[in-house]
């Protein structure tokens, strides 16, 4: 195969440096024998040559595109720009290291009027073909041409007219021209302002270059027995080993992710297509083992045939993070040191936050309900006056801030309160963004009259469910010592942290809170003033990641904290970062 | 607007602040702001302790009474009001984006973003950059009518640069001049200039 065009058929897996992270992941899937839509890559050297040539596709690259498309045509039995069984493709960027500023994916590329007719005949729906054409024009206009379209639901030809009027440039009619322009846009985006700035900040070399991946489209919305979905190899909310998935019959990939439609539980797939369901679960197990982590897999079924579109390590809840790390270590998929690296101090801190007991919750009177905007539970006296909230909180009284709306002026009250409740706004309001930023429990949009009803009362705010309860309900902590997984995680991290963290000590302790040391930058001087780095320290600053790092650099080897586990995890993370340990590098590579 | 009222306005948008902070919000010289704060202290329009000032109820009343006249022309300028309408559209998109920065929709629920996936974070930073670029011309129109608003464009650009440089806190952090902190103040400022009511 020419070094200008790499086929992702699993026969070879070049390095990430050559084909970029996304294509590398696709190649790995094919190598495992898993079904993915056929694809080829223009490697990163194409990017370097393109810019060296002043932004021109050279003849070898044109040839590579022809070779690659011919491969996709052979694999799919379709023709690019064909009047029968047309081939549509996606074009995406793929740098060896993820960075902002790179061109987004263009989908459904390869359209002209004849292709639309052919697609209509094949799908038995002119409407479907017209809609796919419209999606292509809108996507190409926004991503490649950077047009600003007000209404993307207009017909394709109308969108083309608007783009031409706005930019004096059109969405090409010729599929090959569409492909060339999209490829040039990907290569050009390597030198976008944002990508250049990011590389400068992050010390990524400017000549690394991006690869371009071209992949055949598959359609979850074509005909019977088609659909699209997402599968997690284990439950990312609870950490339960049972796979968790959603399936949308007749849907396209975006539909599930965007949340525009309500998908069905995975059991529906098992009922409709038992063989596909079994194949999918087997693939999930294989990928989980290969990546040594829980996978979040996007898939499409086209006329009863399964295609895996993408796999990545799943995002997870704090609870799941602990359970998955310990379980995977128990199963031998990862080492205890890996498990420690998989759980952040912040996740454990959230997990250890006090919570409501289900029986207390069941017995409590509900005063108001709204949207859950920021998780966690807070109790206190409800007050509507921001200044009063700040004053009484400063006296050590637990207070809840209730407001009709919140403005920047109220932020100091939100900082001081144990929780926040508003009458208006949704989970994407300014108040919600501020409360999540603070880790402050919040229920928003409780409706008119809530402030009046609650002010002066003792209340409990449950930001996870969006409920305001009457009275000060008891908050219960998870006992880290009583939880088997937390206890084992703690024993593993204690070996990696390089420092000792204890809940109490009879020896001398340097109390940084008493000294007024709250910034990580002040820790070193405070420790030096105390005369010896060997002394134990305590204080809120050494319960933050930066503070722990600063203390360790200052020679501290012993920290006193009410909850040792998050501090130990922060210390271990600091140590890994300092050592640039192989574990961290391997996790990054597989991320 | 008179400098004293402007300083009151800065205090209300920011809620309490030092002369230095208020000067930065308003794009004024610090000595000028300091003098105005001293005047407002004397008339009882602000209260101050240890260099930090807060508007008093009397100061607020004086400020609210000053807006309609001070911004009468601006409020009738349709290029300004339609720019503010476009700002509201972007505001909704921005808040939805910041929500995705903080918490990730997953398996029918959401999980906190632990920032372990650079591809996810970079996609959000990219969208933030797009929204920022779409906001710039709107701010240029607004600053054409109220020149001091230019300061927000600079503050937003500075926050975005720091976020892009890997300082995650500068996206939606509360205790720093993050993109959201500045945006929130800008939004409040616009609502006050135009005499509009906050929807949430």
Tens digits of residue pLDDT in A356-365: 999 999 999 9
Residue A303 Cα distances to A37, A226, A374, A555, B78, angstroms: 14, 5, 42, 64, 54
Residue B19 belongs to a domain: yes
DSSP 8-state code for residue A417: S
**Number of domains chain B is built from:** 2
Cα–Cα distance, A417 to A430 (Å, whole number) = 17
What are the structure tokens assigned to A86, written together? 């047309």
Please indicate if any CB of chain A lies within 8 Å of the CB of B93. no
pLDDT exceeds 70 at position A207: yes
Q: How far is A289 from chain B (nearest CA, A)?
A: 19
> Is B181 in the same domain as B127?
yes
B10: domain CATH number?
1.10.10.10
Helix axes A193-202, B150-164, angle to 10 degrees: 50
CB contact under 8 A, A591 and B118: yes
Q: Is residue B114 included in any domain, yes or no?
A: yes
- Inter-chain residue contact A259 with B98, CB threshold 8 Å: no
pLDDT in tens, A297-321: 999 999 899 999 999 999 999 999 9
For the stretch A242-292, pLDDT in tens is 999 999 888 776 665 555 567 788 888 999 899 999 999 999 999 999 999
- CA B54 to chain A, closest CA, distance in angstroms equals 10
Interface contact flag, B112 A318, Cβ < 8 Å: yes
The confidence score (pLDDT) of residue A535 equals 76
**Pick from B14, B92, B107: CB nearest A244:** B107
Q: What is the pLDDT of residues A564-591, one digit of tens each?
A: 999 999 999 999 988 874 554 555 555 4
Q: Is B147 on the interface with A (CB under 8 A)?
A: no
CA pair distance B178, B180, nearest whole angstrom: 5
Taking an 8 Å cut-off on Cβ atoms, the answer to whether B187 and A430 are in contact is yes
Contacts of A556 (CB under 8 A, 6+ apart): A499, A527, A533, A535, A536, A537, A542
The 3-state DSSP class for residue A475 equals strand
Tell me the shortest Cα–Cα distance from A81 to chain B, in angstroms.
31
Q: Tell if the CB–CB gap between B106 and A237 is shorter than 8 Å.
A: yes
B175 & B106 share domain: yes
Cα–Cα distance measured from residue A488 to residue A336, given in angstroms and rounded to the nearest whole number: 9
Per-residue pLDDT reduced to its tens digit, A375-427: 999 999 999 999 999 999 999 999 999 999 999 989 999 999 999 999 998 99
Is residue B56 located within the same domain as residue B93?
A: no
Contacts of B74 (CB under 8 A, 6+ apart): B80, B145, B146, B193, B194
Contacts of A434 in chain B (CB under 8 A): 174, 180, 184
Query: A410 vs B15: CB contact, 8 Å cut-off?
Result: yes
For the stretch B143-150, contacts whose Cβ atoms lie closer than 8 Å and that sit 24 or more positions apart, written own/partner, are B144/B79, B145/B74, B145/B77, B145/B79, B145/B80, B146/B71, B146/B74, B146/B193, B148/B6, B148/B26, B148/B27, B148/B28, B149/B186, B149/B189, B150/B27
Q: Per residue in A477-511, is it b (16+ CB within 10 Å) or e — as a string?
A: eeebeeeebbebbbebbbebbebbbeeeeeeebbe
pLDDT at residue A128, as a whole number:
87
| The pLDDT of residue A259 | 54
Would you say residue B128 lies in a domain? yes
Give yes or no: residues B164 and B91 share one domain. yes
Residues B117 and B168 grouped into a single domain: yes
Is B181 within 8 Å of chain A by CB? yes
**Residues pairing with A307 in the sheet:** A300
Please name the member of B112, B120, B198 whose beta carbon is closest to the beta carbon of A350. Answer: B112
Residue B168 belongs to a domain? yes
CB A91 within 8 A of CB A179: yes
Question: Pairing state of beta strands A371-374 and A442-444?
Answer: antiparallel
Q: Is A385 exposed, middle or buried (0-12, 13-18, 19+ CB in 10 A)?
A: middle
B112 in contact with A at a CB cutoff of 8 Å? yes
Chain A residue closest in CA terms to B94: A428
Query: Quick one: how far is CA A502 from the chain centroid?
Result: 34
Residue A10: pLDDT band with limits 50, 70, 90: confident
Which of residues B52, B70, B88 is at a domain's end?
B70
Contact A584, A341 (CB under 8 A): yes
Give the C-alpha separation, B2 to B40, whole Å.
12
pLDDT of residue A584: 47
- Residue B73, pLDDT above cutoff 70: yes
ipTM score of the complex?
Answer: 0.93
Closest CA–CA distance from residue A350 to any residue of chain B (Å): 10
Nearest one of A287, A327, A289, A328 to A310, comparing CA atoms = A287
Let me know if residue B199 belongs to a domain. no
Longest dimension (CA), chain A: 84
Domain membership flag for residue B93: yes
Whether residues B88 and B175 share a domain: the answer is yes
- A429 vs B111, B112, B200: nearest CB: B200
Task: Say if CB A307 and CB A37 are below 8 A apart.
Answer: yes
B84 and B178 assigned to the same domain: yes
B161–A contact, CB cutoff 8 A:
yes
Helix axes B150-164, B179-194, angle to 10 degrees: 160
Residues in chain B with CB shorter than 8 Å from the CB of A201 are: 164-166
Locate A291 and state its tokens.
């990546």
Q: Are residues B91 and B181 in the same domain?
A: yes
Residues B46 and B129 in one domain: no
Dist. CA B67–CA B72, nearest whole Å: 8
B134 close contact with A: CB closer than 8 A? yes
Q: Do A246 and B108 count as a contact with CB atoms less than 8 A apart? A: yes
| Nearest neighbour of A437 by CB, restricted to B105, B111, B172 | B172
Tell me if residue B96 falls in helix, strand or coil: helix
Which residues form the domain of B53?
Answer: 3-70
Contact A27, A10 (CB under 8 A): yes
Token pair 């975006």 is at which residue? Answer: A254
Q: How far is B145 from chain A (nearest CA, A)?
A: 23
C-beta separation of B50 from B56 below 8 A: no
List the single residue in B105, B117, B164 with the smallest CB-CB distance to A201.
B164
The secondary structure element, H or E, covering residue A513 is none
How far is Cα A560 from Cα A579, in angstroms, rounded to an integer? 24
Predicted confidence band at A199 (pLDDT cuts at 50, 70, 90)?
very high
Rounded to whole angstroms, the Cα distance separating B118 from B111 reads: 16
Find chain B residues with C-beta within 8 A of A408's C-beta.
13-15, 181, 184-185, 188
Cα(A69)–Cα(A79) distance, integer angstroms: 9
Task: Give the span between the Cα atoms of A325 and A329, in whole angstroms.
Answer: 6
Q: Which residue of A has its CA nearest to B184?
A: A408
Give the pLDDT band of residue B101 (cuts 50, 70, 90): very high
CA distances from A351 to A39, A344, A358, A371, A480 (A): 42, 11, 16, 21, 10
Q: What is the pLDDT of residue A102?
A: 93
From B15, B112, B118, residue closest to A412, measured CB to CB: B15
Q: What count of other Cβ atoms lies within 10 Å of the Cβ of residue A514?
A: 10
Helix (H) or strand (E) holding A51: helix A44-52
pLDDT at A519: 86
Q: What is the mean pLDDT of residues A522-550?
A: 85
Average pLDDT over residues B81-88: 94
Of B70, B93, B123, the one marking the end of a domain is B70
DSSP assignment letter at A105: P
Range of weakest confidence among A148-157, A178-187, A256-265: A256-265
* Boundary-marking domain end, from B70, B90, B118: B70
Q: Distance from first CA to last CA of chain A, Å, rounded? A: 28
| Summary mean pLDDT of chain A | 91
Q: What domains lie within chain A, and their CATH numbers?
A: 6-216 (3.30.1490.20), 227-313 (3.30.470.20), 320-349 (no CATH), 355-476 (3.50.30.10), 493-590 (no CATH)
**B137–chain A Cβ distance below 8 A for any pair:** no
B133: nearest CA in chain A?
Answer: A194
CB contact under 8 A, A312 and B13: no
Residue A198: its chain B contacts at CB < 8 A?
122, 164-165
CB of B117 less than 8 A from some CB of A: yes
Beta-carbon separation of A411 and B114 below 8 A: no
Task: Compare A481 and A140 and report the one with higher pLDDT.
Answer: A140
- The verdict on residue B200 lying in a domain is no
B114 contact A CB<8A: yes
Interchain CB distance below 8 Å, B199 and A424: yes
Do A169 and A75 contact (CB within 8 A), yes or no?
no
Q: From CA A207, how far away is CA A47, in angstroms rounded? A: 9
Q: Which residues of B touch A296 (CB under 8 A)?
A: 106
Q: Which residues of B17-36 are buried (b: 16+ CB within 10 A; e: fewer)?
A: bbbebbbbbbbbeeeebbeb
Which whole-number Å values give the CA distances from A580 to A126, A574, A584, B52, in the listed order?
57, 10, 7, 44
Count of A–B CB contacts within 8 Å? 151
Residue of A nearest to B124 (CA): A100
Chain Cα centroid distance, residue B100: 21
Q: Are A470 and A363 in contact (CB under 8 A)?
A: no
Q: Which of A199, A430, A431, A590 to mutate to test the interface with B (most CBs of B within 10 A)?
A: A430
Q: How far is A33 from chain B (nearest CA, A)?
A: 25
pLDDT score for A480: 76
Q: Of B180, B89, B192, whose CA–CA distance to B149 is shortest?
A: B192
Predicted TM-score (pTM) of the model is 0.88
Distance (Å, whole) CA A354 – CA A373? 18
User: At A528, is the pLDDT very low, low, confident or very high (cuts 50, 70, 90)?
Assistant: confident
Q: Hey, which residues does B106 pair with through a beta bridge?
A: B109
Chain A residues within 8 A of B189 when measuring between CB atoms: none
**Degrees to nearest 5, angle at CA A340 with A339 and A345:** 130
Task: Say how many C-beta atoms besides its own lie within 10 A of residue A259's C-beta.
Answer: 10
User: Which pLDDT score is estimated for A582?
Assistant: 53
Quick check: B99 and A317 CB within 8 A? Answer: no
Q: Which residue of B has its CA nearest to A230?
A: B107
A464, A319 in Cβ contact below 8 A?
Answer: no
Residues of B in contact with A238 (CB under 8 A): none
**What is the distance in angstroms between the Cα of A470 and the nearest Cα belonging to chain B?**
25
The reply to whether B89 touches chain A by the CB within 8 Å rule is no
Burial class (CB in 10 A: 0-12, 13-18, 19+), A74: exposed
Q: Are residues B95 and B189 in the same domain?
A: yes
Close Cβ partners of B128 (under 8 Å, ≥ 6 residues apart)? B94, B97, B101, B160, B163, B171, B179
Q: Mind listing the pLDDT tens digit for each residue in A555-571?
A: 899 999 999 999 999 99
Min Cα separation B181/chain A (Å): 8
Residues B122 and B164 in one domain: yes
Q: Are residues B13 and B110 in the same domain?
A: no
Q: How many helices (H) and strands (E) does chain B have?
A: 10, 5
- Which candidate from B95, B123, B126 shows the least CB-CB separation from A430? B95
Is residue A2 scored above 80 in pLDDT?
A: no
Q: Please give the pLDDT value at position A1.
A: 46
CB–CB of B15 and A415 under 8 A?
Answer: no
Q: Within an 8 Å CB–CB cutoff, is residue B62 touching chain A?
A: no
Burial class for B49, CB neighbours closer than 10 Å (0-12, 13-18, 19+): exposed
């Amino acid at each position: 195969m020419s070094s200008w065009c790499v086929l992702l058929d699993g026969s070879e897996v070049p390095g990430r440096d050559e084909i970029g992270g996304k294509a590398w992941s696709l190649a790995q899937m094919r190598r495992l024998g898993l079904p993915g839509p056929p694809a080829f890559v223009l490697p990163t050297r194409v990017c370097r040559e393109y810019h060296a040539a002043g932004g021109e596709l050279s003849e070898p690259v044109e040839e590579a595109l022809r070779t690659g498309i011919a491969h996709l045509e052979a694999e799919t039995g379709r023709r690019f720009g064909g009047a029968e069984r047309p081939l549509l493709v996606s074009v995406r960027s793929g740098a060896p290291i993820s960075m902002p500023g790179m061109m987004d994916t263009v989908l459904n590329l390869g359209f002209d009027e004849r292709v639309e007719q052919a697609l209509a005949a094949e799908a038995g729906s002119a409407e479907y073909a017209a809609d796919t054409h419209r999606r292509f024009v809108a996507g190409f206009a926004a991503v490649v041409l950077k047009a600003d379209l007000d209404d993307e639901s207009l017909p394709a030809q109308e969108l083309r007219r608007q783009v031409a009027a706005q930019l004096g440039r059109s969405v090409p009619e010729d599929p090959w021209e569409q492909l060339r322009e999209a490829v040039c846009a990907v290569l050009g985006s390597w030198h976008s302002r944002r990508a250049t700035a990011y590389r400068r900040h992050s010390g990524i070399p400017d000549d690394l270059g991006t690869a371009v991946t071209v992949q055949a489209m598959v359609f979850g919305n074509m005909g019977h027995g088609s659909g699209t979905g997402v599968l997690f190899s284990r439950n990312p909310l609870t950490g339960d080993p049972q796979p968790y998935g959603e399936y949308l019959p007749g849907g396209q990939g975006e539909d599930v992710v965007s949340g525009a439609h309500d998908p069905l539980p995975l059991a529906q797939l098992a009922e409709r297509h038992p063989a596909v369901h079994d194949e999918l679960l087997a693939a999930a197990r294989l990928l989980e083992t290969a990546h040594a982590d829980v996978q979040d897999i996007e898939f499409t079924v086209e006329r009863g045939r399964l295609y895996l579109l993408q796999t990545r390590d799943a995002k997870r809840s704090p609870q799941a993070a602990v359970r998955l790390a310990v379980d995977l270590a128990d199963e031998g998929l990862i080492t205890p040191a890996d498990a420690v690296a998989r759980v952040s101090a912040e996740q454990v801190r959230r997990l250890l936050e006090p919570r409501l007991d289900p029986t207390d919750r069941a017995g409590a009177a509900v005063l108001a309900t709204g949207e859950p905007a920021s998780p966690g539970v807070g109790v206190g006296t409800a007050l509507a006056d921001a200044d009063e909230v700040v004053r009484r909180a400063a006296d050590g009284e637990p207070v809840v801030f209730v407001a009709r709306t919140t403005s920047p002026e109220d932020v100091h009250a939100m900082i001081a309160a144990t929780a926040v409740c508003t009458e208006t706004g949704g989970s994407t309001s300014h108040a919600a963004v501020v409360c999540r930023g603070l880790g402050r429990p919040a229920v928003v949009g409780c409706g008119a009259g809530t402030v009046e009803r609650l002010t002066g009362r003792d209340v409990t705010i449950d930001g996870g469910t969006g409920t305001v309860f009457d009275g000060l309900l008891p908050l219960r902590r998870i006992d880290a010592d009583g939880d088997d997984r937390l206890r084992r995680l703690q024993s593993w991290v204690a070996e990696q942290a390089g420092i000792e963290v204890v809940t109490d000590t009879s020896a001398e302790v340097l109390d940084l809170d008493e000294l007024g040391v709250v910034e990580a930058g002040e820790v070193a001087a405070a420790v030096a003033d105390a005369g010896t780095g060997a002394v134990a320290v305590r204080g809120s600053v050494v319960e933050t990641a930066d503070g722990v790092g600063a203390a360790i650099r200052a020679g501290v080897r012993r920290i006193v904290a009410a909850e040792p586990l998050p501090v130990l995890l922060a210390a271990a993370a600091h140590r890994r970062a300092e050592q640039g340990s192989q574990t961290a590098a391997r996790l990054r590579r597989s991320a | 607007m008179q400098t004293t009222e402007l300083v009151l306005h800065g205090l209300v948008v920011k809620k309490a602040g030092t002369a230095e902070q208020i000067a930065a919000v308003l794009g004024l010289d610090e000595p000028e702001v300091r003098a105005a704060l001293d005047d407002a202290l004397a008339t009882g329009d602000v209260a101050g302790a240890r260099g930090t000032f807060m508007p008093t109820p009397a100061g607020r009343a004086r400020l609210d009474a000053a807006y309609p006249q001070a911004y009468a022309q601006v409020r009738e300028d349709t290029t300004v009001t339609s720019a503010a309408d476009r700002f509201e559209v972007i505001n909704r998109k921005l808040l939805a984006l910041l929500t995705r920065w903080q918490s990730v929709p997953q398996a029918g629920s959401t999980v906190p973003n632990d920032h372990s996936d650079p591809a996810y974070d970079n996609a959000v930073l990219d969208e933030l950059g797009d929204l920022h670029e779409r906001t710039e011309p709107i701010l240029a129109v607004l600053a054409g009518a109220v020149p001091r608003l230019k300061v927000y464009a600079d503050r937003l650009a500075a926050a975005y640069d720091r976020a892009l440089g890997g300082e995650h806190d500068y996206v939606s952090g509360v205790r720093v001049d993050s993109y959201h902190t500045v945006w929130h103040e800008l939004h409040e400022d616009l609502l006050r200039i135009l005499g509009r009511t906050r929807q949430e």
